[in-house]
Amino acid sequence: MTREYGHYINGALVAGTSGRFSDIYNPATGAIQAKVALATIDELNAAVDAAAKAQPAWAATNPQRRARVMMKFGALINEHMDELAELVSMEHGKTLPDARGDVQRGLEVVEVCMGAPHLLKGEFTDNGGPGIDLYSMRQPLGVVAGIAPFNFPAMIPLWEMAPALVCGNAMILKPSERVPSTSFRLAELLKEAGLPDGVLQVVNGDKETVDAILDNDTIQAIGFVGSTPIAQYIYGRAASNGKRAQCFGGAKNHMIIMPDADLDKAADALIGAGFGAAGERCMAVSVAVPVGQKTADTLTEKLVARIEKLKVGAYTEGEDIDYGPVITAAAKSRILGLIDSGVEQGAKLVVDGRGFSLEGFENGFFVGPCLFDNVTADMTIYKEEIFGPVLCQVRAESYEEALKLVMDNAYGNGTAIYTADGDTARDFAHRVNVGMVGINFPIPVPLSYFTFGGWKKSSFGDLNQYGPDAFRFYTKTKTVTARWFSGIKEGGEFNFKAMD
């Protein structure tokens, strides 16, 4: 019998009542392995009401005690690392080492949240006027929501829930209906760590549930990660309903390779950044921009030699697998369609992975690695986010031409440059209009005590994920101006005239 998932409400797993379900596939086999209930508007609103009842007591818990819950939570994540990674791989299809990285990068945000008492401190000015003191305090918003994508079943929910909860909010977490089980397990571990029931609710659903989140008056803020069209839709609807929103969308991340770069290191970086996790990362490098024909020709040779050695397979086949399947049959079909369009529009398909098939997993959603050369900016494979194991090479004659290509692109999530020249690297870092920049570093995801966020059509909202920005996003600032009048006691009586 196929397992059915419901929701996590008030500290317990409960069945859904809508009668509507979404299939959860094993991406390696193509078989349905479970079903997840899709919440009704009434179910979502009931979960929000329960969260609103639990939130005041949690907000009244002092920041140090909330941080201790995060300390215990972090320890439990470490203790259950392999179990969580297995859940990620089972539903997403990524390799076990990649899945552990997924959990680890989320854990690092939990670790930063252990310092919440410091990050939640306000400001104080003594004697800002005659006898007047001013101070500010950060207070939780109330009930907030997180809408997570399929490609990081552990990391993104942890990026959303840990700062929101430690700030004193209650949260409605809506994981991707394709990969819900990791969020359920994280919720159980949070309860074990001491989080009161009702403070975190995990509600599964589709667009109907998302719209209910956007329209619920109790929910004060929404964090979202997904595609740009949906990010823009959520941001606009949330804003029109008076909610805060941080919405992170698609990407088209470029790596410029200068003639003076170590091309072996650059090629190694492109293999990991372009094909790791089957390219299903918003920080994947999907466009290589070698400067100069000699650089491009040499880099192509090195990339082909490495691509031919990539091992594609199911996570159950061992830890030496380089990447696994994509998430669904529809995703595979879309990726193959984009590859076909690249060929039709004149790009040179140097490595063709369209016919890839894995013995014993013929029905899995696997796409072999593909390398395009001579891609131009007007081609569909350049303009659209492929989100698959496809690397496009756009040749540039000069550094300025390469830089302009990056700056003219609609997306601005991440970018990188490989060079031995410090002046070029410094110029690139200062001029490029992209939110996260790598210098001889392929995937420039900042450490968790900085902050994560792109520019242009990759991000909607003023504040980024994790780091100090998360504490600003999940709290509101109240500023107090105070003056105390001193009475003069005469004969044991309080002299109110002294206050005049």
Please list the active-site residues: 282
86-108 burial: b if 16+ Cβ within 10 Å, else e: bbbbbbbbbbbbbbbbbbbbbbb
Q: Residue 138: phi, psi to the nearest 5?
A: -100, 125
186: nearest Cα among 106, 248, 113, 115 = 106
The stretches of 259-372 forming alpha helices (DSSP H) are: 263-275, 293-307, 329-344
Cβ neighbour number for residue 389 with a 10 Å cutoff: 29
DSSP 464: -
Residue 14 contacts residue 201 (beta carbons within 8 Å)? no
Q: How many CA atoms lie within 13 A of 219 on its CB side?
A: 29
| Axis crossing angle, helix 155-166 with helix 181-193, rounded to the nearest 10 | 30
For the chain, how far is it from start to end, CA to CA, in angstroms? 80
Please give the Cα distance from 224 to 243 (Å, whole number): 13
Q: Which two tokens stand for residue 124?
A: 């104080």
The stretches of 444-493 forming alpha helices (DSSP H) are: 467-473
Residue 257 contacts residue 288 (beta carbons within 8 Å)? yes
The dihedral over CA atoms of 44, 50, 55, 57, expressed in degrees to the nearest 10, equals -170
